[in-house]
């Protein structure tokens, strides 16, 4: 199976797992996906993640987070930059997600970080996705 956009695949799997009320979801592993998972955990959108192996393939197991009413911490994830249409922003142009209620995840020359961190460090980059 050849994926042209592995990040979009990861986001779709998370979105589908949440809609189906799964506790966890497995995503084929990559350094970038581990970084995205790390940020989602730091920002409180998932309860945990761990790199593991499944039948010889490296996967990232993402443990989804729900509140007492069984509402997911993530209400939506959206891919912004796609292989066909990359979206790059300067540090001054980093968009706010839902007026600061959500986060965006950027790849910058200093690594993968949230839009807020990028703004603080004064770096721009490619906007991977938005989460709220």
Mean pLDDT of 9-25: 96
Q: Encode pLDDT of 23-32 as tens digits.
A: 999 999 999 9
Mean pLDDT of 109-113: 97
> Looking at the predicted structure, is the pLDDT value of residue 1 above 80?
no
Q: Which pLDDT score is estimated for 99?
A: 87
| 3-state DSSP assignment of residue 51 | strand
> Looking at the predicted structure, is the pLDDT value of residue 38 above 70?
yes
Mean pLDDT of 73-87: 95
> Looking at the predicted structure, is the pLDDT value of residue 36 above 70?
yes
Which domains, ranges and CATH numbers included, belong to the chain? 6-131 (3.30.1490.10)
Burial (CB count <10 Å: 0-12, 13-18, 19+), residue 18:
buried
CA distances from 103 to 52, 107, 130 (A): 26, 13, 6
> Looking at the predicted structure, is the pLDDT value of residue 2 above 80?
no
């Amino acid at each position: 199976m050849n994926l042209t956009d592995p990040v979009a695949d990861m986001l779709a799997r998370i979105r589908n797992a949440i809609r189906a009320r799964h506790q966890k979801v497995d995503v084929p592993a990559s350094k970038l996906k581990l970084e995205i998972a790390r940020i989602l955990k730091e920002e409180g959108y998932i309860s945990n993640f761990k790199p593991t192996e499944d039948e010889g393939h490296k996967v990232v197991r993402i443990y989804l987070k729900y509140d007492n009413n069984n509402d997911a911490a993530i209400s939506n994830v959206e891919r912004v930059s796609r292989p066909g249409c990359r979206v790059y922003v300067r540090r001054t142009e980093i968009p706010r997600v839902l007026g600061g209620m959500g986060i965006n995840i950027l790849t910058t020359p200093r690594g993968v970080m949230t839009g807020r961190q990028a703004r603080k460090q004064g770096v721009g980059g490619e906007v991977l996705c938005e989460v709220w």
